Chains A and B, each alone.
Chain A
Amino acid sequence: MSHTFSPEVIAEIQERARLGGCEVRGLGAKRAVPSFDDLLILSAGISPAPLEGTQERCDTRTVLGTRHAEEPVVLDIPITIAGMSFGSLSAGAKEALGRAAAMTGTSTTTGDGGMAPEERDSSKTLVYQCLPSRYGFDPDDLRSADAVEIVLGQGAAPGGGSVLLGQKVTTSVAFMRDLPEGLDQRAASRHPDWTGPDGLRVKIEELREATSWRIPVYVKIGAARVASDVRHAVEAGADVIVVDGMQGGTGAAQDVFIEHTGIPTLAATRMAADTLRRLSVENEVQLVISGGVRSGADVAKALALGADAVSVGVAALIALGCNSTSDDTGADVSLGYRALGTVPGSCTACHTGGCPVGIATQDDMLADRLDPDFGAERVANYLRALAMETTMLARACGKSSVHDLDTGDLVALTVEAAAMARVPLAGTSWIPGVTD
């Protein structure tokens, strides 16, 4: 069997030959890349000593947007919910995510398509995205938000615009986006009213003027040219930089983007943090990392590498019920997966709108399979578990705040991870590219 032309590659070539097009799918990169799993945490020993797990407090309070905003975002935990659109997700899913964030004292984020009323009503702290498409962008919604996030790209498809296939462009979604119903929406990859770093600076000022400089301005980049993009965003005046690594998910994007563009979250985190330090703004501009964050260990490692917070997207959807075998009525929905040509645990068919558990759909009958009350409780439990795991690891390192974790608390399992994270290979003092 050829490695170059494996059975999977042969099948892909045959599919392209049949369709004359490329595969569009949901979620994130399937390929194995260096990740937070390739790092280990150096727990405390004689000195420093660990904190007592139940008796000594470990702070998780997180403040974002301290640079220019009059009202920074204050969160109870350093774990936020990433931007996902109403349209890609059902209204019930957006409501559940908002409620879960409110229950755990954190923020959630809108997505391409504007702010759904259910989302604003259910979210205590809501970040409003300003995307290239500007679908549904409304100054009233902007003023009602707790922060605004200018999105330059997403980790799943940096350089590409979002896609929403026609089966999800229903009456309500089309109305919010000013699009004809049933159209295959291909959103712009570039903002309509500015180009380049100088344009971004003026755009940021415009959003501040429209909100009386009250709320923070985040800038989100898809992790590719991280050092350059972070520098430009800082110089343009961003309060918070959000870096979405290549393992980040999407509701629909071309597979060629998902698997072949951007850099891993691990590398992007260190690169972004180092850039902030180089610019001497690490205490002024906050860094939020996303893209494949799943556990408290991932959170702790991201914070140790220099992030102030993380965002979870796909993991929050999985907590909500994505890829489950049953829905919130208790019914077995395996047949729904089979109809999409997949099985629970492997489904990436968000783009089809046929989500068997009612999350990534605009079909009312499917959406009814998700109970926002149950869903919110599951996501809130998940976020609490992540926060608990993060504090466990921080305490084990002798830290009284999760934000005190640093690169001295990490080693790498592989040479690649050591080079990307710029931490020593485990059992050595060797940092590839840094030490001899």
Chain B
Amino acid sequence: MTSLPRQSDQRAGRQGDPPAAEVTLDAAALSTREINRSLQALPYGRAVVTNPDGRHNLAVGLDAPVRVEIDGPAGFYAGGLGKQAHITVNGPAGCGVGENLMSGDVHVRGSAGRSAAASARGGVVVVDGGCSSRAGISLKGATLAIGGDAGALCGLLAQSGVILIGGDAGPCLGDSLYEAVLYVGGKIAGLGADAVVEEITQHDVTFVKILAEGCGFDHLSPADVTKVVSTRRLYNMQNHDHGNY
């Protein structure tokens, strides 16, 4: 059974902020290296990165319960390779937001580019808007919640964890899916190889309700989501299935 994300960890800046000074880092005046070294050195507390202007690799590799606000659009890999930290992007995020996240959360208050939460192993990635293609690719235990639509190949090769799509899902949803579970609030353009729709249970409804509430997705009807899982037919190489790979 899939575990629920911890409520207190879902949103940056919501509650329980450690009593530490707030640091402001102006990306217009600092290099990416200087910004990340400053963030990585914080044991706790808050930091705001101003003027990010789509800068790549902001707030990567953090490993402390800090709260970081990227105040504007972020480039690739915002919050990637992170543990414990709570990161908010006040704007859109580029490719690979929250990639390989281990714990903590990344909240995008906008839309996200390709491969959101790619290979993320823990924690929660929330995208208020839509996601481009391959969101949740190779997911390995994290939770990805998308408020809007998801592009093609969402959940490609997703191994474990949960993907919630508040809007519509694009073509090839859940292609080559393993044990991850996908919930879709809107329409599904098409399923990928080895993905199948499964009847939802009361447990699924409760789970989606709690997850959607925690993410602030009030446009979603938990009882009406479509659940997608793996048929597990491609788990072992069957000689005549090669066309499906």
Same complex origin of A and B: yes
Q: Which residues of A contact B (CB under 8 A)?
A: 19-22, 133-134, 137-140, 142-143, 165-166, 177-180, 182-184, 186, 188, 192-194, 199, 202-203, 205-206, 209-213
- Tell yes or no: B137 within 8 A of A by CB: yes
**Cβ-based interface call for B61 (8 A):** yes
B95–A142 touching, CB < 8 Å:
no
List which B154-173 residues lie within 8 A (CB) of chain A.
156-157, 159-160
Q: How far is the CA of A32 from the CA of B77 in the complex (A)?
A: 44
Contact between chains at A209 and B57 (CB < 8 Å): yes
**Does B219 reach chain A (CB closer than 8 Å)?**
no
* Number of residues on chain B facing chain A (CB within 8 A): 45
Contact of A192 among B36, B60, B76, B115 (CB under 8 A): B115
- The answer to whether B178 has its CB under 8 Å from any CB of chain A is yes
- Do residues B236 and A166 form an inter-chain contact, with CB atoms below 8 A? yes
Asked if B236 contacts A139 (CB within 8 A), the reply is no
CB distance from A299 to the nearest CB of B (A): 36
> How far is A268 from B14 in the complex, measured between Cα atoms in Å?
55
User: Is the Cβ of A139 less than 8 Å from the Cβ of B102?
Assistant: yes
A143 to B140, CA, bound (A): 20
Q: Would you call A206 and B134 a contact (CB within 8 A)?
A: no
Is A202 touching B237 in the complex (CB atoms < 8 A)? no
B33 touches A213 (CB 8 A): yes
Q: Judge if B138 is at the interface, Cβ distance under 8 Å.
A: yes
Known contacts A202-B57, A202-B77, A206-B81; decide if A193 and B179 are in contact (CB<8 Å).
Answer: no
Contacts of B203 in A (CB 8 A): none
Q: Which of A133, A139, A179 has the most CB of B within 10 A?
A: A139
**B187 near A: Cβ within 8 Å?**
no
In the complex, what distance in Å separates the CA atom of A202 from the CA atom of B32? 12
Give the CA-CA distance A209 to B77 in the complex, in Å: 11
B185 at the interface (CB under 8 A from A): no
Partner pick for A193 among B33, B119, B121, B178, CB 8 A cutoff: B119
> B174: which A residues are within 8 A, CB to CB?
none
Which residue of A139, A188, A192 is within 8 Å of B81 (Cβ)? A139
Cβ contact within 8 Å between A134 and B61: no
In the complex, the answer to whether A202 meets B76 with C-beta atoms within 8 Å is: yes
Residues of B near any A CB (own CB < 8 A) = 32-33, 36-37, 40, 56-57, 60-61, 63, 75-77, 80-83, 95-96, 99-100, 102, 114-115, 118-119, 121, 134, 137-138, 140-141, 156-157, 159-160, 178-179, 235-237, 239-240, 242, 245
Please determine whether B138 and A133 come into contact, CB atoms closer than 8 angstroms. yes
Contact between chains at B32 and A209 (CB < 8 Å): yes
A346 to chain B, nearest CB (A): 24
The residues of B that contact A203 with a CB separation of less than 8 Å are 77
Q: Which of A139, A180, A182, A188 contacts B100 (CB 8 A)?
A: A139
Chain A residues touching B, majority SS = loop
- Whether A179 touches B159, Cβ cut-off 8 Å, given contacts A184-B235, A199-B95, A202-B76, is yes
Query: When the two chains form the complex, which single residue of B40, B179, B242 contacts A21, counting CB atoms closer than 8 Å?
Result: B242
Q: A139-B61, A192-B118, A212-B40 are in contact. List 7 more A-B contacts (CB 8 A).
A: A133-B138, A134-B138, A143-B61, A182-B236, A188-B157, A192-B134, A193-B115
**CA distance in complex: A432, B114 (Å):** 47
Complex CA distance for A408 and B159, rounded to whole angstroms: 52
How many Å lie between the Cα of A143 and that of B63 in the bound state?
Answer: 11
Q: Which of A19, A140, A177, A206 contacts B80 (CB 8 A)?
A: A206
**Distance from A224 Cβ to chain B, minimum over Cβ atoms (Å):** 21
Other-chain contact of B178, A19, A140, A179, A213 (Cβ < 8 Å): A179
Among B81, B99, B115, contact of A142 (Cβ-Cβ < 8 Å): B81
Q: In whole Å, how far is A160's beta carbon from the nearest beta carbon of chain B?
A: 11
**A203 vs B156: C-alpha distance in the bound complex, in angstroms?**
20
Q: How far is the CA of A344 from the CA of B245 in the complex (A)?
A: 34
B17 to chain A, nearest CB (A): 24
Establish whether residues A180 and B95, one from each chain, have CB atoms under 8 Å apart when the complex forms: no
Q: How far is the CA of A212 from the CA of B34 in the complex (A)?
A: 10
Contact B100 A134, beta carbon cutoff 8 Å: yes
29 contacts between A and B (CB under 8 A): A19-B239, A21-B237, A21-B242, A133-B138, A134-B118, A137-B100, A139-B63, A139-B102, A140-B83, A143-B61, A178-B160, A184-B236, A188-B138, A188-B157, A192-B99, A193-B95, A193-B114, A194-B96, A194-B115, A199-B76, A199-B95, A202-B75, A202-B95, A206-B56, A206-B60, A206-B77, A209-B36, A210-B80, A213-B33
Taking CB atoms, residues of chain A closer than 8 Å to B239 are 19-21
Q: Are B179 and A180 in contact (CB under 8 A)?
A: yes
List, in ascending order, chain A residues with CB within 8 A of B60's CB. 206, 209-210
Find the B residue at minimum CB distance from A18: B239
